[in-house]
Structure 1
Amino acid sequence: MSDTSLTIDNILAPELTLCRVPASSKKRVLEFIAEQIHRHDESLSETQIFNNLVSRERLGSTGIGQGIAIPHCRLEGLDHVVGVLLTLEESIEFDAIDNQPVDLVFALVVPKEATSEHLELLSQLAEKFNERAFCDGLRQCDDATTLYKRMTTATE
């Protein structure tokens, strides 16, 4: 990629945008994310992604409040950023900072040599998810196509 600025729409694939995913626990959500990424790119290890996401959660929950979580981790051998967007069928406990259950998840898996760009991406996400109207719009989606469009077209 010649363009060095990473934006949400160039890291999120429609196939990794899923609506109303049934999940019973935080662990299950992280497993599901790892499965989806592996299915999307079989060269990436599902187990490694899952373990890295779990390790990151142990440092502190990625539940940022208001029903939103941004689980993320670094991955050896990855050469691009992978984003996964999920809305959950029902809110789940995520040890979020405000103790609210989570129903909106944006996972980010970045190369091991993560740069300031990746931090920039996390702050872009946090900023978008800080807008209640934007989040409500995502939660109202009934299908993945609409969800993908709402997530990628609302970029400033």
Structure 2
Amino acid sequence: MELADILAKGSVLVCADITSKSQLFEHLADNAAKTCGQDRAEILRALSEREALGSTGLGNGLAIPHGKLGSLKQVIAVFARLIPPLDFDSVDDQPVDIVMMLLAPAGAGADHLKALSRVARLLRTEALVDDLRRADDPARIYELLTAPMATTYAA
């Protein structure tokens, strides 16, 4: 699964002045609702229910909030770069500035796991994360996220 398959160009956000996790989730849900035609409240509910199980803040300024929606047809992603970073209750207690939200159909166990794995692997690439933190143009961020990793970033 390639990120370009689940991340629309219009779903890359550079967010200034987000002051809480709930405000971030609202912003992500607004974008996702427009992208996939799902109910914003249902998206917020899915994200909040998953987050209540434990923070999706991975550490190193990264978070992958995710949830499942029964009526969704395919996995979708929304990326946000936060300026300034936001307290996210991450495992390392550090604020988050790189967020990739994933939504999957309720019955899409394998696709959901593939998407989570792909995003986690991608965000472990230090050079990519450094480039994402320097970029403030959504088109450039989309380009970085969807470029073939083998030719763009040496492992």
With the length of structure 2 as denominator, give the TM-score of the two structures: 0.92
* Mapped contact 1:63–1:95 kept (Cα < 8 A): yes
| Aligned residue number for residue 10 of structure 1 | 5
AA aligned opposite 2:105? P
Contact 1:20-1:142 at 8 Å conserved across structures:
no
* Aligned ranges 1:41-80 → 2 under 5 Å: 41=36, 43-80=37-74
Deviations 1:33-91 (A, max 9, x none): 101111223x3000010011011000010001100000000001101111001101111
Equivalence for 2:134: 140
Query: 3-state SS of the aligned residue for 2:67?
Result: strand
Q: Which amino acid aligns with 2:138?
A: A
Counterpart among 89, 92, 106 of residue 98 in structure 1: 92
Match of 1:88 among 82, 86, 98: 82
**Kept after mapping to 1: 8 A contact 2:68/2:105:** yes
Q: Say which SS state the counterpart of residue 50 (structure 2) adopts.
A: helix
2:93 maps to a residue whose letter is: N
How many residues are matched?
A: 150
Match of 1:129? 123
Take 2:67 and 2:16, find their aligned partners in 1: how far apart are those partners? 21
Q: Residue in 1 aligned with 2:35?
A: 40
- 4+ residue segments displaced more than 4 Å: none
Task: Report the Cα offset of residue 155 of structure 1.
Answer: 3.2
TM superposition shift of 1:135: 0.4
8 Å Cα contact 1:21/1:86 also seen in 2: no
Cα deviation code 1:82-124 (max 9, x no counterpart): 1001101111110101111000000000001022232122111
Alignment-mate amino acid for residue 74 of structure 1: K
Contact 1:89-1:103 at 8 Å conserved across structures: yes
Query: Which position in structure 2 is the counterpart of 1:28?
Result: 23
Give the superposition deviation at 1:17.
0.6
Measure the CA separation in 1 of the matches of 2:138 and 2:148.
16
CA RMSD of aligned residues (A): 1.2
Contact 2:75/2:111, CA 8 A, preserved across alignment = no
Identity %: 35
